[in-house]
Amino acid sequence: MPESSGGSKKEQIMEAALAIFSVKGFHLAKIEEIAQQAGVGKGTVYEYFCSKEALFKEILKEGALTFDQLIAAELGKAKTTQEKLEGIIRQSVIMWQRFHPLAKTTMMETAFLDSPFHAWLMEKHYQRLFLIRDIIEEGMQKQELRSINGLHFAYLFYGGLAGMAGFYVEEDFTEDQLELLIEKTLDYYLKGIAQK
């Protein structure tokens, strides 16, 4: 147990791979370096993942599923549209702090992966956009939001969160700072920035 870095060998490898892929992207990441970072031999990586691509995909998949679960949990607690958007903002920032460096590389780097998997990723993406659109449209029905194009706004909202989180990614927020960020973000989207 030379590396008491916790977790099974498989988890150690995924952890290391996430770090390396995040810094170097898929193509420049070397299996050997990942193995080294994980404190295992190069061959050991192949005991748990049948290829570099499979390793990459499993990391993405885990991230996507975790994100979905966290979002679902937040939405389960939320009552109003405002609370729902708040939840999405919160989990987005948290997830991006973990996965964004990787995601930045991912969009295109996955295009070459077999299309079923790429399609799955795209589907996940659209699921989230549609989730936001549905929240927006529900809010319009409840008279909480004014009448807008829900999908158009979902693009702006989701992209905006990515843009914001991507740049705050290196900072280590306290709980309070994070809540303040969420509050203000939501405020801008809800009330707009124009002087009344």
Partner DNA sequence: CATGAATGAGTGTTCATTCAT
Partner DNA sequence: AATGAATGAACACTCATTCAT
Spatial neighbors of 121 by CB under 8 A, at least 6 apart, are 60, 64, 106, 110
Cα–Cα distance, 92 to 72 (Å, whole number): 12
Burial call 75-87: b when 16+ CB within 10 Å, e when fewer: eeebeebbebbbb
- CA dist 76 and 118 (Å) reads 29
Decide: is 48 part of the binding site for a copy of itself (CB under 8 A). no
Q: Which stretch binds DNA (CB under 7 A): 42-50, 102-110, 114-122, 138-146?
A: 42-50
Binding window for a copy of itself (CB under 8 A); candidates: 10-18, 32-40, 41-49, 155-163: 155-163
Residue 124 touches a copy of itself, criterion: CB under 8 A = yes
Binding at 13: pick from a copy of itself, DNA, none (beta carbon under 5-8 Å per type): none
The binder of 30, among a copy of itself, DNA, none, by C-beta within 5 to 8 A per type, is DNA
d(CA 24, CA 39): 19
By CB under 8 A, residue 103 contacts a copy of itself: yes
Q: Which of 14, 52, 103, 154 binds DNA (CB under 7 A)?
A: 52
- Residue closer to a copy of itself (CB basis): 15 or 58: 58
d(CA 196, CA 180): 23
Check binding of 37 to a copy of itself (CB under 8 A).
no
90 binds a copy of itself (CB under 8 A): yes
Distance of closest approach, residue 132 Cβ to a copy of itself, in angstroms = 7
Rounded to a whole number of angstroms, the minimum distance from the CB of residue 114 to DNA is: 12
| Candidate list 19, 31, 70, 186; residue touching a copy of itself; CB under 8 A | 186
Site for a copy of itself in 162-181 (CB under 8 A): 162-169, 173, 178, 181
Structure tokens, 117:
């998997």
* CA gap 28, 37 in Å, rounded: 15
The closest of 68, 42, 67, 66 to 55, measured between CA atoms, is: 42
